[in-house]
Structure 1
Amino acid sequence: MDEAPGLSDQYRTASPWPVFIALGIPISELGLLFGLFPLAVGGLLLFGGSVVGMLSESGYVNSTMWASVVFSVLLFAFGSALAFTEVNLVVRGYATIAAAALLVVGGVVFELFVREQRDAF
């Protein structure tokens, strides 16, 4: 009798991304709620990078750069709505826009430098 029926050795049993997504959401919410710029940016980067990593690992996207660009556009739209409306949420909007810009930079750097090193081995 097999101890783990239906499981193959070629598949990993767990992915680390859901834990980072679960941490990124409350960290970014705390930063946005209390107006703490670095905490909000860091939480949004953790959340966005984890979503892009999960999509890449599962095979839904071929390029992490384009996935991070699309997620950054969504963040930029949300941040613009916060920053440039009549509601007094300017610092929160700027934090979201900064996280969107850093996520694009991180996706481009990963695609250009880290991907080449991984493919070389």
Structure 2
Amino acid sequence: MHQTPIWAVTDSSDSDSTFTGASPWPPLVAIGFVLSEIGVLLGLRPVSVAGLLLFVVSVAGILTEAGYITDPAKGTGVQGLALISIGTLLITGNQIGTAIRGQSIVIAGIICLVGALLWAGFVRKKSRSKVSASQTSKTTSD
């Protein structure tokens, strides 16, 4: 009698459209965090800011993928506000070595906040144009 190996058996319930694979966000969170710290350590502000931006966007991606938030732009904006607050505290703390870190954090927070606002405005404008296009197509001329 011929038996089919267990790895060759397919179950029809496993073939649904739900993706249960690995998420790309956790490694990007780690890379972003490491880049931000390397930038602070070496005094390379662009590397530090880029690492923080990668970190924030990855966290927003994780939260969206997990279903905790529906709009990643809002998550990015909230994180941008948090970064601005934390960076301001570090700058005003007057401790040695925290000035460049605080400045990098504030810069990244401002970029996140501006990017989130621009993205939200773009999405709002795009949705309004879709609504107006659908309204004009529904009207009939007599």
**TM-score band w.r.t. shorter chain:** 0.7 to 0.9
Contact kept? 1:37, 1:95, Cα under 8 Å: yes
Q: CA deviation at 1:114?
A: 5.7
Per the TM alignment, residue 8 of structure 1 is displaced from its structure 2 partner at its CA by: 4.5
Question: 1:55-66 counterparts in 2 under 5 A?
Answer: 55-66=63-74
Identify which range, 81-90 or 36-45, moves more after superposition: 81-90
Match of 2:16 in 1: 9
Q: State, as a whole percentage, how many aligned pairs show the same letter.
A: 35
Alpha-carbon offset, residue 94 of structure 1: 1.0
Residue matched to 1:36: 44
Q: TM-score, normalised by structure 1?
A: 0.81
Following superposition of structure 1 onto structure 2, how do residues 83-98 of structure 1 map, counting pairs within 5 Å? 83-88=91-96, 89-98=98-107
Which structure would you say has the larger RCO, counting Cα contacts within 8 Å and 6 or more residues apart? 1
Residue 6 to residue 14, structure 1, CA distance change in 2 (3 Å): farther
Q: How far does the alpha carbon of each residue in 1:8-55 deviate from its partner, in whole angstroms, 9 at most, with x for none? A: 431221221112112101001111223211011000000001101111
1:21 alignment partner in structure 2: 29
TM-score by length of 2: 0.70
Distance 2:12 2:52 in 1: 39
Secondary structure of residue in 2 paired with 1:61: coil
Change (3 A) 1:85 1:109: same
Rounded to whole Å, the distance in 2 between the matches of 1:79 and 1:4 is 52
Deviation (angstroms), 1:65? 2.5
Question: Which residues of structure 2 form unaligned runs of 5+?
Answer: 1-5, 131-142
- The number of aligned residues is 118
Give the match's secondary structure for 2:73: helix
- In 2 relative to 1, CA 5–33 (structure 1 residues): closer, same or farther, beyond 3 Å? farther
Is 2:111 aligned against 1:102? yes
